[in-house]
Amino acid sequence: MLCSGWTGNWVSRGFFFTARFYFCCISLFKTMATECEAWLNANPVEADDLSDSFLSGDEERGVVRKVDNEINGNWIAAPTSSIHEARVKAKAKRRLRKNSSRDSGRGDSLSDNGDSTRGPLVPPTSPKGKLLDRRSRMGKGRGLPKKGGAGGKGVWGPPGEVYDLEEVDVKDPNYDEDQENCVYETVVLPLDEKDFEKTVTPIVQEYFEHGDTSEVAELLAELNLGHMRSGVPMLAVSLALEAKASHRELTSRLLSDLCGRVLSLRDVETAFHKLLRELPDLVLDTPGAPQLVGQFIARAVRDEILSKSYIESYKGKVDCEHARAALDRATVLLKMSRGGLRIDNLWGSGGGQRPVTQLIKEVNLLLKEYLLSGDVVEAERCLRELEVPHFHHEFVYEAIVMVLESKGDKIFKMVLQLLKFLWESSVITVDQMRRGYQRVYMEIAEINIDVPCAYAVLEQFVEKSFSAGIIDKRMRDLCPSRGRKRFVSEGDGGRLKLESY
């Protein structure tokens, strides 16, 4: 009973205190509202000034300076005109900052009394136009490119800027007085024996194809031959021993042109010294190496890249029979040159490098030698040594012309036998054989002027060639023919029948 009464007394007291607290808060709020209303009535403010935007630092300082004035804890009302003027100026500054960068082209400006006036509207640019725009995105500045157009990744400066040479700092601890007078050059390491053979061999082999000695000299000048300089003539001669006669002629020309430009006279002498010592090994691959090396020595003496006393210096000092044979061959050739032998044409010259008139003379000489000897194998060998497979049609043409100009059947049968042998051995190709016959067909009219029976002899030779399988039926049918002149009839007035070819 006591407990319940005591508890109820406390509950009633708590409710009383809570209600009294609420009444005090309500009365306080009413008093504050009454004071604010009285102040607003005394200081009227425009609706735009009651915006939710934050006050700037200058505005806050201005308001505090004008309003925050108190004396003995009592507020003193500031002048209404000063507060209104500060708010208007702060608002104008906020608008100016906001529109200075983004709306710089739209014509916003401020009037004298602080009001914002709007000029003619400018349509805003599309977002795509700003993709490669280098102006600032920070909303500040005048819209000009950053760093005057010299900023950004991969840009080394503004257009037209010229960089001066960097001056050497004398006070640099790493400074060297001699570094300003340095000359930098590309250093090429000298070739050793293995690299020399791998590098020079393709150069010589390509020279056998184009025959340009100047190109070989330029390629060798780019290499640092060093002590392997004397190996160039030795390598070239070694490759020429296993090649054709035209390649040997090219090798002799190469040695003559390189001497004085890339090689010296001593290098050439050293190269031939090594060749004479290695002749026993060269004979294993090329049995005629001693005679060929002797011819190279004679040609070198004739071209004045070897001294005339070079051969005499070996007298009585040679034990190798192959070296002795080479020196004897060179001595004989030099003695024959005094009697009229031209060592310049010792090797002959390549087919493609000789003039056409010279080739025609050699073809006629070959045919005459064959008609005297009748040896088809020797004629084949001589034709191969000419090294002019593209000129074999001239050989066929000259052979047929000899048949047309000859008398009797001996030359007729020998030329037919020779052409059949060369056709079966594939020395003369189908195209070259056909071109030779076609040339005779085209010039038979002129040949007939000097040889009246040329048409008849040509028809017989073409028919025999077709029977031997040298030409085909189509080439046989193309052979021109000439009919005999006769009267058409007894009373035609002497008219002649037209010639048919």
Residue 51 pLDDT class (50, 70, 90 cuts): very low
Contacts of 162 (CB under 8 A, 6+ apart): none
Distances (CA, A) of 308 to 11, 29, 51, 331, 501: 147, 136, 117, 10, 66
Contacts of 188 (CB under 8 A, 6+ apart): 222, 223, 224
Q: Is 228 helix (H, G, I), strand (E, B) or coil?
A: helix
pTM to 2 decimals? 0.48
Q: Is 109 helix (H, G, I), strand (E, B) or coil?
A: strand
Q: Is 47 helix (H, G, I), strand (E, B) or coil?
A: helix
Percent of the chain with pLDDT over 90: 29
Phi, psi of 98 (to 5 degrees): -70, -35
Residue 465 structure tokens: 């060639």
SS3 string of 208-248?
A: HHHCCHHHHHHHHHCCCCHHHHHHHHHHHHHHHHCCCHHHH
Sign, CA torsion 336/341/343/348: negative
Predicted local distance difference test score (pLDDT) of residue 195: 87
Helices (H), strands (E): how many in the chain? Answer: 18, 4
Residue 462 pLDDT class (50, 70, 90 cuts): very high
For residue 178, with 0-12 CB atoms within 10 Å meaning exposed, 13-18 middle and 19 or more buried, which class applies?
exposed
Amino acid at 246: S
The yes-or-no verdict on residue 467 having pLDDT over 70 is yes
Sign, CA torsion 473/479/482/488: positive
Amino acid at 301: V
Predicted local distance difference test score (pLDDT) of residue 163: 72
Predicted local distance difference test score (pLDDT) of residue 309: 87
Give residue-wise pLDDT tens across range 392-406. Answer: 999 999 999 999 998
Residue 387 pLDDT class (50, 70, 90 cuts): confident
295 vs 103, higher pLDDT: 295
The yes-or-no verdict on residue 244 having pLDDT over 90 is no
Sign, CA torsion 477/482/488/493: positive
Interatomic CA distance for residues 17 and 13, integer angstroms: 6
- Only one residue has tokens 């059949």, namely 420
